[in-house]
Amino acid sequence: MRKCFTKFILLLGALIIQIEVQAQTPVDAIMMKKREFCVAAAYDHGSWDHYWEGRYLRTNGNIGTLTRTTVMPMVAFGLWDRVNLLASLPYVATRSSGGQLAGVSGLQDLSLFVKATVYEREFGSAKGSVLAVGGFSRPVSNYLSDYQPYSLGLGTTEWNARAIAQYRLGMGLYVRGSVAYLHRGNTRAERDYYYANGSYYTNLMDVPNAWTYQGALGIWLINEDLKLEATYTSQRSMSGDDIRAYNAPQPTNRVDIDQLGGSIQYYPPFVKGFGVFANTSQIVNGRNMGKFINFGVGATYQFSL
Amino acid sequence: MNTFRNFLVSLILSLLVFSCKNELPILSDYSAYEYAGTDANGGTWKPILLTIPDQIAIPVPDAINSAAYQAELAEVVTATQSLTKTQGEAVAYWTNNPTLRWNEISLEMAAKYNLIPGPNADGTYTLPDPANPNNKPYFPFAHPAYTCRALAYLSVAQFDGLIASWHYKYTFNRPAPKLSNASVNASYASNNLPTYPSDGAVIAVISRDILTAMFPLEKEFLDQKAAEHLASLKWAGENVESDITAGTTIGVEMAKIALARASSDGMKKAQTPKPVSDSIKGAAFDRFGWQWDNLETPVRPVGLAPLFGNVRLWNVPNVETVRPGPPPAIGSPEFQKDADELIDIADHLTLEQRKIANWWQDGLGSYTPPGHWNRFAKEYIIEAKMNPLRTARVFAYLNMAIMDGGISCWDTKYFYHYPRPIQTIPGFKTIMGTPNFPSYTSGHSVFSSSAAEVLSYFFPNDASQFTKWAEEAAMSRVYGGIHYRFDAEVGLAQGRDVAKYTVEVARLDGAD
């Protein structure tokens, strides 16, 4: 029951890499009981000094190192034992070490999720479960998605649907896999002509839809006070153009990502309902994406009504 | 709690449209229309490059009742009565004012090629090579100076070619195919324009040849576009084969005449080697005690087109005539006032200012400010239902004035060699990239007020709108943090001065 914050871990990673690998969706297989609340706060520092222009990995002296800092409050609520609601609203700040372009900061997108257990079965001491998550997010400030690579986010509504399957052994070892489809709308630029493999006479930009996949291997240790997890996550856009030679990215770009991550979570047995976590991730392969490395820390507190 | 309410509304709305993203427009929204007039005296208007309208000779056409013409007519009857889907789409695309489509194509070329060369691994820069356009970085880099020149040659050649076409049309008075054979299924509204030589063919061939010279890597694409356009003239029932052949002759020769001027207008020397660039910079430092430096990493050794100011002007007698006086000395109260304004704007940028800065940015990867003003012109031309000749006239004078404005602005930029705000204000950050050329005067301001001045002549009822746009374009650079207010305000006046020469030529060309 005190493990609520697992839900948020990878959600955070998503925001850090800007193009939401995790669709800002909880991707674990843990549920809270009815009328349980969990509040959490997470801080993340992501940066890159190389980025993929199309598939070409390069540097840019007028950006140097781009840094993206995220502070994200989150809340989750057990509507029923088998249905949870979650919400998050990150504050993001960006800056670069090179060049003269100004960084930006502000509230990004409000996300809401409904998470449900659709199947559970015990196999002796082992347990298998399948969960479904539906989510929606939308910008809450007037940040400019077209101000890449500094922009706070993609500036569009997103619907996402995710299926999660987990199999956990009695000794605490577990494997988990998930797949999600991210359906994005258009984002509004502040120009009414742009080039994306051809002319567009509109201020609307089609943000590509995407699939994400994740595989995780983890273990609970020390009487389930400590959890270690390693993940591989990927995103594949369904459409979009490449960043042109030495040109700025734009929200229409086809963004692909392969990312490795690891996290550790600790629930001190002497503080009821309280937990801390730390995580890191590295994008190892990408397209039209910064080669982000991220470090994050956070805390959660869980209570019942 | 408006945010929350908006959030809920958008949640519901986006549920409704979950799976249907609308197709976004990739073309200007217009279709064929009935011309407001045909300008029967158009053949008497004064051309820009041609000395006389029949300088390019075409054969006397066969008579309507000749067997040769009747055979051509029969071909058109057949073609128009059984259009395939593709042919029908081509007819709808090209319309009876294809000058607009070719202008649109030229803007897309500009946007496609407006990419600044990046550094090599060793920190040096390689410039595009017109002799080897396919070597990276590809030729051309269609920056604003390059683009305004491409548009000027395109539009001037189109205008002169159509004057020649109009001259012969009203000399030979060959009627439209439909008037000779009612079985012709014409796609466009009928007009009384004689069809020999085909104005559409003149436009197709001139546009193909000028744009191929300006964007050589697009040869195949442009050939295909022109071939489709030429074929569509028969599909639409506009022209018979000999109309198109004669129009092609005019087009080919007219493009050669325009490109001959282009090859000797000084553009080849505009991008100087470093020693020349350094001596220009040194001269400014000796004269004024300041110099603009590129602040990119790695530093670009030469600014953009330092000698574009020496390129041959269209209508201004010489570039010194329109060169403004010097900017405020750095550190002077006038300078400080405008520098402080930039800091204040950067610290308190409003949403409205940000939108203006971005809407006018027209930076790398875009069709540039000259392209933006061509787009405006297109919208007003369509609204006025101009015929192709009058359309070409607006573009010709517009783009001559814009190019003269660009030449004058570049002359001023490199004569004064004035540093940008990021160079004079320590730690200053901007919301758009600072271009690779000196600050004073602002290119956006000069391009825009030149354009506004010409459009105000052609569309006087909308003059206040054009002026407002030009002023907004000028201020957009201040909001963006890359120009001082004096760059913008002096640039606006400069553009007006430059354009007056072009408007004076337009006033006397016999059209109004």
CB contact under 8 Å between B14 and A142, yes or no, is no
The CA-atom distances, in angstroms, between A116 and each of A29, A72, A135, A164 are 10, 23, 12, 10
Q: What is the pLDDT of residues A10-57, one digit of tens each?
A: 343 333 333 333 222 355 667 788 999 999 999 999 999 999 999 999
Q: What is the pLDDT of residues B458-506, one digit of tens each?
A: 999 999 999 999 999 999 999 999 999 999 999 999 999 999 999 999 9
Q: Can you tell me the distance from the alpha carbon of B43 to that of B196, in angstroms, rounded to the nearest whole number?
A: 13
Q: Taking a C-beta distance cutoff of 8 angstroms, is the pair A201, B28 a contact?
A: yes
CB contact under 8 Å between B115 and A244, yes or no, is yes
Place of tokens 């004073």: B440
For B507, the 3-state DSSP assignment is: helix
Quick one: pLDDT at residue B14? 58
A173, with CB counted inside 10 A (0-12, 13-18, 19+), is middle
Q: Can you tell me the distance from the alpha carbon of A13 to that of A296, in angstroms, rounded to the nearest whole number?
A: 8
Residue type present at position A90: P
Q: Taking a C-beta distance cutoff of 8 angstroms, is the pair B483, B430 a contact?
A: no
Quick one: pLDDT at residue A10? 39
CB contact under 8 Å between A245 and B372, yes or no, is no
Looking at the complex, does the CB of residue A62 fall below 8 Å from at least one CB of chain B? yes
CB contact under 8 Å between B358 and A144, yes or no, is yes
Q: Taking a C-beta distance cutoff of 8 angstroms, is the pair B152, B399 a contact?
A: yes
How distant is the Cα of B173 from the closest Cα of chain A, in angstroms?
Answer: 39
Interface-testing mutation among A136, A195, A207, with chain B (most B C-beta atoms within 10 A): A195
CB contact under 8 Å between A189 and B358, yes or no, is yes
How distant is the Cα of A255 from the closest Cα of chain B, in angstroms?
Answer: 19
Q: What is the pLDDT of residues A248-300, one digit of tens each?
A: 999 999 999 999 999 999 999 998 889 999 999 999 999 999 999 999 999 99
CB contact under 8 Å between A61 and B298, yes or no, is yes
Please check the confidence at residue B20 and state whether its pLDDT lies above 60: no
Place of tokens 């000999």: B242
Looking at the complex, does the CB of residue A125 fall below 8 Å from at least one CB of chain B? no
How distant is the Cα of A83 from the closest Cα of chain B, in angstroms?
Answer: 20
CB contact under 8 Å between B297 and A98, yes or no, is yes
Question: B355: which chain A residues are within 8 Å (Cβ-Cβ)?
Answer: 190
Quick one: pLDDT at residue A87? 95
Query: Of the candidates B24, B117, B429, which has its C-beta nearest A100's C-beta?
Result: B429
Quick one: pLDDT at residue A33? 87
Quick one: pLDDT at residue A272? 87
For B5, the 3-state DSSP assignment is: helix
Quick one: pLDDT at residue A162? 95
A245, with CB counted inside 10 A (0-12, 13-18, 19+), is middle
Whole-number percent of chain A with pLDDT over 90: 84
**Ordered DSSP codes for B63-88:** PTTSHHHHHHHHHHHHHHHS--HHHH
Looking at A177-181, B15-19, B206-210, which range is the least confident one?
B15-19
- DSSP alpha helix (H) spans, B302-350: 333-347
Q: Taking a C-beta distance cutoff of 8 angstroms, is the pair B81, B235 a contact?
A: no
- The model's pTM: 0.94
Q: What is the pLDDT of residues B125-178, one digit of tens each?
A: 999 999 999 999 999 999 999 999 999 999 999 999 999 999 999 999 999 999
The CA-atom distances, in angstroms, between B366 and each of B112, B165, B438 are 7, 33, 20
Q: Can you tell me the distance from the alpha carbon of A191 to that of A165, in angstroms, rounded to the nearest whole number?
A: 43
Q: Can you tell me the distance from the alpha carbon of B344 to that of B375, in angstroms, rounded to the nearest whole number?
A: 33
Helix axes B368-383, B388-416, angle to 10 degrees: 160
pLDDT band at B29 (very low <50, low <70, confident <90, very high): confident
Q: Taking a C-beta distance cutoff of 8 angstroms, is the pair A41, A299 a contact?
A: yes
Q: Taking a C-beta distance cutoff of 8 angstroms, is the pair A103, A16 a contact?
A: no
Q: Taking a C-beta distance cutoff of 8 angstroms, is the pair B43, B167 a contact?
A: yes
**Ordered DSSP codes for A248-277:** ---TTB--EEEEEEEEEEE--TTSTTEEEE
Quick one: pLDDT at residue A16? 35
Q: Enumerate the β-bridge partners of residue A214.
A: A178, A233
Q: What is the pLDDT of residues B256-293, one digit of tens each?
A: 999 999 999 999 999 999 999 999 999 999 999 999 99
For A199, the closest chain B residue by CA position comes to: B26
Please check the confidence at residue A245 and state whether its pLDDT lies above 70: yes
Residue whose C-alpha is closest to residue A156's, from B142, B228, B17, B439: B17
Q: What is the pLDDT of residues A123-165, one digit of tens each?
A: 999 999 999 999 999 999 999 999 999 999 999 999 999 999 9
